[in-house]
Amino acid sequence: MRVSHSLEPVFDDPNLIAYGGLPAVMALAEQAGLHDLVDAHVTVPGTAGANTSAKVSAIIAGLVVGADSISDLDVLRHGGMGRVFAGLKAPTTLGTHLRAYRFGHVRQLDAVASRLLARLGAVSPILAGADQVVYLDVDDTIRETHGYHKQGAAYGYSKVKGLNAQVAILSTPTSAPVIAATRLRKGNIDSGHGAARLIADSLATLRRATTPTMVIVRADSAYFRHDVVAAATAAGAQFSVTARLNKAVTRMIAGIDEQDWTAIRYPNALFDDEQQRWISDAEVAEVPFTAFTSRRKAEHVTARLIVRRVKRLNPKVATSQGELLPGYRYHALFTNTTRELVAAEATHRDHAIIEAVFADLKNGPLAHAPSGKFTANGAWLVLAAIAFNLTRAAARLASTTLGKARTATVRRTLIQVGARIANQARHWRLHLPSRWPWHDQLTTLYTAALGPPATVTAS
């Protein structure tokens, strides 16, 4: 493809907008009651807190279209956007608003995010499949920062200076992840700190949105803690947590008989039709195990220890190191799920789905920690989660396929669409490109967002 003419860019059309799908997305937010929730729960003091709902929705709109810093929010003030939206704010105004947040105000935003997710679940099938099983995945990531003026930035487990974002996501076998809860922490904090409260809040949000048949809480070895397991079981959920290879776990693995190992479908595995089994370098086995025995007896937890072993590429390395378990790499998980052995182990491996959410966030709102103030960054993280869920809800309304797409794909197909606003016979009309490949999906979204609102009960 080649440019066919000599072109001269002229920025002179006051009726064009760059985000033709954004009105539908923000109409969906209004339909779910975003403004009412902010007015009811967020009480930022002073002039910075005036007209909070308009400022919060403006920041969310900027994050939806891909802004990753406060100054980026100025992308909303172009062309005909002032005719499409009321209450557009300058980035300086929005930055002042964010810097006025204290810890309590960030928690107020958490309350808004929780209730909005429940309401979005009522107007969009973002939690379809909850009648089968819902997975709650918890993990944290480091958002790298630079310079000396970021409050809370420190060197953590990754040896990278930054802030720690702890996130809990919800997903089902038929729906893509949505963010249930977030916490911004100092960069050098223990990964599992506060996870029990995060899990409890996330499960409360889930039950506000739907009535799940089964919930499985999944986490990696940083969350192999009594309070995490206790929080899951207290809320009626099952748990599947990677077990740290401490001495007790290693002894249990060493005692597994060779005939108890079962080959599984794994990368490069082959299925033997004659033997009707997988030929693989990965195998699984399980034994009963009692964890947290250093605590008082009432807090001991007995469940299944499921172990996956994978042949080392160089078994001599392990032998030369004098390890108790040479020749294999071992991965153990502690779970009380009742699924069959192979299915339970495969289910736990799917915990990696949360890495895709982290990648989405870092490819958008969390490309930077936009403020030097810690609580402003905490509010930014919560608003990024709201924007993520709102985008997911809009995509799921547009089509089942786009409902599982990456956020960047949803932006490219449904939101970042050039349009021209015009008034014809006292009726405002948005002219979108002809032959747009996702015409049907965008039409479906607009019909759902701007049609008769679904009945949503306040919570």
| 1, 22, 339, 433, 446 from 439: Cα distances, Å | 23, 15, 43, 9, 11
pLDDT band at 265 (very low <50, low <70, confident <90, very high): confident
pLDDT band at 323 (very low <50, low <70, confident <90, very high): low
**Comparing 51-55, 156-160, 228-232, which segment has the lowest mean pLDDT?**
156-160
- The rounded percent of the chain whose pLDDT value lies above 70 is 92
pLDDT band at 221 (very low <50, low <70, confident <90, very high): very high
pLDDT tens per residue, range 400-413: 999 999 999 999 99
pLDDT, residue 274, reads 59
**Comparing 124-133, 316-325, 433-442, which segment has the lowest mean pLDDT?**
316-325
> Is pLDDT of 21 > 70?
yes
> Is pLDDT of 322 > 50?
no
Whether pTM exceeds 0.85? yes
Distance CA 430, CA 81 (A): 11
Domain boundaries, the chain: 16-101+384-450
Residues in CB range of 264: below 8 A, 6 or more apart:
278, 280, 282, 283, 284, 308, 342, 345, 346
pLDDT, residue 347, reads 95
Distance CA 99, CA 8 (A): 41
Cα distance between the two ends of the chain: 53
pLDDT tens per residue, range 145-195: 988 789 999 998 889 999 999 999 999 999 999 999 999 999 999 999 999
pLDDT tens per residue, range 367-376: 989 999 999 9
pLDDT, residue 123, reads 93
| 245, 341, 346, 376 from 333: Cα distances, Å | 10, 11, 11, 37
Mean pLDDT across 262-274: 70
pLDDT, residue 457, reads 52
Structure tokens at 292: 């947290």
pLDDT, residue 277, reads 60
> Is pLDDT of 2 > 90?
no
Which residue has better confidence, 253 or 424? 253
Note whether 168 and 136 are within 8 A (CB): yes
In degrees and rounded to multiples of 5, residue 13 shows phi and psi of: -100, 110
Mean pLDDT across 11-38: 95
Distance CA 262, CA 282 (A): 8
> For residue 92, which of 370, 433, 393, 399 has the smallest C-alpha distance?
370
Mean pLDDT across 225-252: 95
**Comparing 101-115, 140-154, 379-393, which segment has the lowest mean pLDDT?**
140-154
Note whether 399 and 441 are within 8 A (CB): yes
Mean residue pLDDT of the chain comes to 91
pLDDT, residue 8, reads 84
